[in-house]
Structure formats: structure tokens, C-alpha cells
Amino acid sequence: MTHFYSAYGLNVSSDLAIPGLKTTPPIPRSDIHVWLGSKPSWASELEQAKAEVFYESPSHDGPGEPELKILSFLEAGYFQLLYGDGTQFILDRRATRVWATWLHPLTLEDTVIYLLGPLFGFILRLRGFTCLHASAVAVGGRALAMTGEAETGKSTTAAAFARRGHAVLSDDIVALRPMGDNFLAGSGYPRVCLWPDSVNLLCGSPDALPRLTPNWEKCYLPLDGNGQHFQEEPLPLAAIYVLGDRVGNSAGPRIETLSSASALIALVANTYMNYLLDRTMRHEEFDLLTALVARVPVRRVTPDSDPAQIDRLCDTILQDAQSIAEVASS
């Protein structure tokens, strides 16, 4: 049985059900086909072929193994992604076919975390998309993206917006596409992934939301229409908010407008999987981001030191977004 989905604007088919994705009607031809729990019949031949190390992570998992190694088989036209926990992916260079395998005690749900995160990030890169390491929500028919370094609250802020009735376009990866004088922010899939402390902040208990997998403590907020909604269609990008470190400030969150140069530096540092870019891809990304900061406002946000002030942070972003909309319409 073949299962059909949409993720990051791509039509996906799979031999097994993929947790977290919303099913779609059958389509005659998918952009990507996924085989879960199996390798292609020629995988043994691939392992004997000449390979180059495309990428090796500086961090290691277990006894000296890198957390991620990507091998490139130029003649065969494939990549192999090897994770330190034994999870493996084979991906063709056109980013149309994926095979995934894993080792016990890991599960399908564990593998899907890789699939919907870094693997799809790599697929989007190979397909020419520039992706922000960001979350995005829908406000007034336009997208607001929240980016920033790790643990600055991108997903938590998106989940807070979701609980206030705003649909979420994407969590963690926001694919950008030029559209006339503006840019479209693409949709991802209908979940926001949260650590237990964020779940506790938003829901009053760290156990209030289901776990992504029994083997990991991270949870997810389902965007299933029961209080929280998923924005399935891409939206014009209205503004980008770069979340900074929290500081003590009784006056609440602060927002400042970044110059084009400062905005470009901030976005270059916060694109998704930028460590995989070759010279040509990096040049194309720089050109796109240069055009982006010339057309889309980029703000730096300094949140309050108290994470419980998340609603004030949302209010501040909404007020700023409203002022941007008023200027654009005048």
C-alpha cells in the first residue's frame, strides 16, 4: 500500500505510513518516494563503489563515531547519510528517492525525526531552496518568521501563537521562494516540536503533550485543527524576527529594526544546514538573502528574562507586524 502526503511543498509517497504527516489523495507522480525500513537491491554494490566524504560532523556520538557522516557516490549518483546511532539514509542526487533503515532499539518514529528534519532539509537544499532555521506563523494572511540561535525559543513562540489561534506554517525549517517583489514562506508539516520545559510553560505540565518517540523526551503540539491549526498553503513573508538571548527587562520585550547589512549577517548565520553548501550554493543563497533583506523587514527581538512572559512577547511581535502592515498599505 502506498501512502501519499505533502511536506514542505513537495508531494511525497511512501511504502509505510509516516507519523506526523497529513495524508493527501493519491497522485499519479510524486516529487519524492520514500522506502522505510529497507535498502535498494543494489545497496551492497553502492557500498563497494568509490565514495567521497561530503560532510562529517565535528561532534561525535558514542565511541568516536561522528554524529553524521555524508558520503557522496558521484558515479552512482547517490548520497549516503550515516548517523552515529546506526540510522542510515540513501538519497539520489536529484532528491527524488529515499531509503531509510535503522537499528534496534530505534523505531520508525525515531527515524522519522531525522526524515522530517535534516533529511528534508538536505532535500530542499539539493532542490535549490534557501531555508531559514526558523518557525513561521500566519498573521493577517501573511507569514511572520522567527529565527535565531538554538534555544532562543523559535518553536516555543510558534506554539504560543498557535494556542492563540494563529495557524503555523512550519517549525524549524522555513523554505523561501521568490515571488515577484516578495518572498513566499513555505509550509512544513502539522506539528510543532517542543522540549518538556516549553510544554510545561505553555500547558502547565511537562507531560501535557505526546512524545515524538518513546526513546526521546521531546514532545509535539499537533496542528490538527482541534484548537491549533496548520497553514497548508505558502504565504507572502511579511517580516522576520531574529530572537536573541533573554535579558532582565521589566519593561518587557524589545524590538529593533536591523539595517540591511546587519540583517544579512543575521540571516546568513541562521539558514538551515548551511554547513552543507558548496561554493555555488553559498553564492546563490547570499544573492537571495541580499534581495530578501532589501524587501522584507528584519527585526531583532530581545525577550524578557522570564520565559513566562511569552504572551507579552507575542503581543509585541503582533504590534510590530501591524505597524509594518500599515506602512506597507500607506
Over residues 84-97, the pLDDT tens digits come to 999 999 999 999 99
Shared-domain flag, residues 29 and 155: no
Range of the domain at 108: 3-126
Could you tell me if 157 and 122 lie in one domain? no
Q: What's CA 281's distance to the chain center, in Å?
A: 19
pLDDT for position 65: 79
Rounded distance, CA 108 to CA 91, Å?
Answer: 18
Number of structural domains (the chain) is 2
Domain end residue (candidates: 126, 160, 188): 126
Same domain, 116 and 137: no
Residue 250: the pLDDT is 57
The CATH number of whichever domain residue 246 belongs to comes to: 3.90.228
134 in the same domain as 121: no
Q: Are residues 180 and 103 in the same domain?
A: no
If you search the block for the grid coordinates 524589545, which residue do you land on?
A: 254
For the stretch 89-92, contacts whose Cβ atoms lie closer than 8 Å and that sit 24 or more positions apart, written own/partner, are 89/114, 89/115, 89/119, 90/39, 90/40, 90/43, 90/46, 91/119, 91/122, 91/123, 91/126
Same domain, yes or no: 277 and 302: yes
User: Do 144 and 292 belong to one domain?
Assistant: yes
Q: Are residues 166 and 27 in the same domain?
A: no
Does 275 lie in the same domain as 201? yes
Are residues 203 and 209 in contact, defined by beta-carbon separation less than 8 angstroms?
yes
Do 261 and 250 form a contact (C-beta atoms < 8 A)?
no
Please check whether residue 300 is in contact with residue 178, taking contact to mean a CB–CB distance below 8 angstroms. no
Does residue 145 share a domain with residue 87? no
109 and 137 inside one domain? no
pTM: 0.94
Same domain, 145 and 111: no
Residue 251 has what pLDDT? 63
Of 102, 126, 150, which one is at a domain's C-terminal end? 126
- Between CA 232 and CA 169 the distance in angstroms is 7
Radius of gyration for the chain, computed over Cα atoms and rounded to the nearest angstrom? 20
Mean pLDDT of the chain: 94
Domain termination site, one of 80, 95, 126:
126
Cα–Cα distance, 80 to 90 (Å, whole number): 5
Q: Determine the Cα–Cα distance for residues 147 and 22; give it in Å rounded to an integer.
A: 25
Distance of CA 324 to the CA centre of its chain: 25
Alpha carbon distances (Å) from 35 to 28, 72, 100, 101, 311? 17, 20, 6, 9, 42
Burial of 114 (0-12, 13-18, 19+ CB in 10 A): buried
In which residue ranges of the chain is pLDDT below 70? 62-63, 248-251
For residue 108, the Cα-to-chain-centroid distance in whole angstroms is 20
